[in-house]
């Protein structure tokens, strides 16, 4: 939910960078190749919407010291890049709740979400505090879809 997600049947959003110096560059390229060669359950080629990756984002020492590390969690260190992603959003009734990072790419991410989900209102909420603990909007909500009526 932090790198790729379905927008609707046959369409995906993929976290993306064009920066060849970004450690995620090769990962993005490989994922795009796989997705472009893939088909959905009905045999349709997937439409891939590229979503920019914010940052790079890093925690300050003060932020790292403020994270309550519990058993099994990863320690926080200012030298480790935070896994910021606009793909980690939540679809709700008539809306999209997506993280913002006070990053220049926030506006572009919002515009892409609005284009991909024109019937939804896109609301960006500050995601840095969630990110410091690990994950973001989609991760912390652990939503359960309603069953379809027969």
C-alpha–C-alpha distance, residues 51 and 36, integer Å? 15
30 within domain boundaries: yes
Under 8 Å between Cβ of 25 and 107: no
Cα dihedral sign for 46, 110, 89, 99? positive
147 within domain boundaries: no
Closest CA to 3 of 43, 39, 30, 21: 30
Q: What is the CATH number of the domain that holds 118?
A: 3.75.10.10
Between 38 and 88, name the one with better pLDDT.
Answer: 38
Q: DSSP letter for 39, please.
A: B
Under 8 Å between Cβ of 73 and 39: no
- Please state the pTM of the whole predicted model: 0.85
150 within domain boundaries: no
- Residue 139: active-site member: yes
% of residues, the chain, pLDDT over 90: 57
- Token pair listed for 129: 């505090």
80 within domain boundaries: yes
| pLDDT tens string 6-23 | 999 999 999 999 999 999
**Residue range of the domain that includes 126:** 4-141
90 within domain boundaries: yes
Q: How many domains does the chain have?
A: 1
CA–centroid distance for 60 within its chain: 22
Of these residues, 4, 5, 28, 139, which one is catalytic?
Answer: 139
């Amino acid at each position: 939910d932090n790198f790729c997600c379905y927008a609707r049947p046959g369409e995906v959003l993929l976290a993306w960078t064009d920066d060849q110096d970004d450690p995620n560059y090769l990962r993005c390229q490989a994922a795009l190749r796989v997705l472009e060669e893939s088909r959905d359950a009905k045999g349709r080629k997937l439409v891939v919407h590229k979503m920019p990756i914010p940052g790079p984002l890093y925690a300050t020492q003060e932020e790292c010291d403020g994270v309550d590390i519990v058993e099994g969690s990863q320690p926080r260190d200012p030298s480790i890049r935070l896994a910021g992603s606009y793909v980690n959003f939540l679809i709700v009734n008539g809306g999209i709740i997506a993280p913002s990072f006070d990053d220049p790419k926030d506006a572009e991410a919002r515009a892409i979400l609005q284009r991909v989900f024109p019937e939804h209102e896109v609301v960006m909420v500050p995601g840095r505090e969630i990110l410091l603990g690990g994950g973001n909007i989609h991760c912390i909500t652990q939503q359960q879809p309603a069953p379809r009526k027969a």
